[in-house]
Amino acid sequence: MERGWPDVNHRDARKVNNCMDSIQFGLFPGVCSLCGDLCRPVLDLCDACRADLPFQSNACRCCGISLPMSEVCGHCLGETHAYRHVVGLFDYRPPVDTLILGLKYRGKLSYARLLGRLLAEKLLQREEDLPEVIIPVPLHSRRLQERGYNQSLEIARPLAHKLRLPIDFRACQRHRMTAAQSTLTASERQQNVRGVFSVKPGFKKKHIAIVDDVMTTGYTVAALAQQLRNCGVSNIEVWICARAALTNT
C-alpha cells in the first residue's frame, strides 16, 4: 500500500507553526522598535509594547477623531468632506510620536514597516470593498530630495503588500513647497495647502485610498481628495497611522 503524508489536523498544524516560529525566533529574533527587547521578527514589536499602544477603538467615520461612542462627531454632522471616510490606527500620543517622528525626521524606515503592517491588520478586519489603488500623500520634489524618501509611500509599501493592492505614487503631485503644517495655526494650515496638489491627466480610478502618516486638521488630505474628486474619483478613503487633535488654534 502506498504511504502518503500522515493526516495533520489543525492542532498539529498549529504546533508546527508555533515550532517554526520558535525556531525563527531563536535564529533570527527581531528587536522591538520601542523598548529594544528581543521579539518575534514579523513586526519588530514586543507583546508588552503592543499592549500599551493607543490603538483607536471608536472614532468618527468621517474625520477619524476618537469618540467615546457615536459614529459621527458633531463637527462632521454639519459638514461634507471630499473624502468618504477616514480609517485611523492610533491616537497621536506617546509612544506613537516616537514612531512617527523617528520615521519622518530620523530615517527610521523600519518604523514604516511596523506602522504599515499594523494598519493593514486593522483594514483586513473590515468587510468593505478595498480600493482599486493606494495613493500616498506626495511630498514636494525638493523635500523628497532633502529627506531621501516619502514617509507616506514607505508606510504604503507594506500596507499594499499585505492587502495585495497596487500603489500609484505618480498619480498626484505636490507642486508647491509649503511650510510644515505642524508650525501653523488651523486657519493658516488650510491656506497653506490650498491648490498645492494636482492629478495627472487621464487618471481614471473610481475608488482610491489616500495614505498619510498623521492627520490633524485634515486640510492636507482634504486638498488632495478635492483634486481627485475633480478628476472623477467618486469614492475616496483616507487611511492614516495616527489621528491628532489640534491644540494650537
* Positions that interact with Zn ion (CB under 5 A): 32, 34-35, 46, 49, 60, 62-63, 73, 76
Cβ proximity to Zn ion, 30 vs 116, nearer residue: 30
The nearest distance, CB 72 to Zn ion, in angstroms, is: 6
| HSE, side-chain direction, 13 A CA sphere, residue 243 | 24
Helices (H), 106-215: 109-124, 141-147, 151-163, 186-193
Phi/psi of residue 73, nearest 5 degrees: -80, 165
The nearest distance, CB 136 to Zn ion, in angstroms, is: 23
Cβ proximity to Zn ion, 179 vs 245, nearer residue: 245
The nearest distance, CB 153 to Zn ion, in angstroms, is: 26
Cβ proximity to Zn ion, 151 vs 217, nearer residue: 217
Q: Residue 168 burial by CB count (10 A; 0-12/13-18/19+): exposed, middle or buried?
A: middle
The nearest distance, CB 9 to Zn ion, in angstroms, is: 34
Specify the pairing of strand 38-39 against strand 30-31.
antiparallel
Distance, in Å, from the CA atom of 86 to the CA atom of 238, rounded to the nearest integer, reads 5
Cβ proximity to Zn ion, 32 vs 137, nearer residue: 32
Cβ proximity to Zn ion, 158 vs 218, nearer residue: 218
Distance, in Å, from the CA atom of 212 to the CA atom of 214, rounded to the nearest integer, reads 6
Q: Which residues contact 106 (CB under 8 A, 6 or more apart)?
A: none
The nearest distance, CB 37 to Zn ion, in angstroms, is: 5
Bridge partners for 30 per DSSP:
39
The nearest distance, CB 156 to Zn ion, in angstroms, is: 24
Cβ proximity to Zn ion, 196 vs 221, nearer residue: 221
Cβ proximity to Zn ion, 60 vs 156, nearer residue: 60
Distance, in Å, from the CA atom of 124 to the CA atom of 115, rounded to the nearest integer, reads 14
DSSP 163-180: HT--B-SSSEEE-S----
The nearest distance, CB 217 to Zn ion, in angstroms, is: 12
Residue reference for cell 517622528: 101
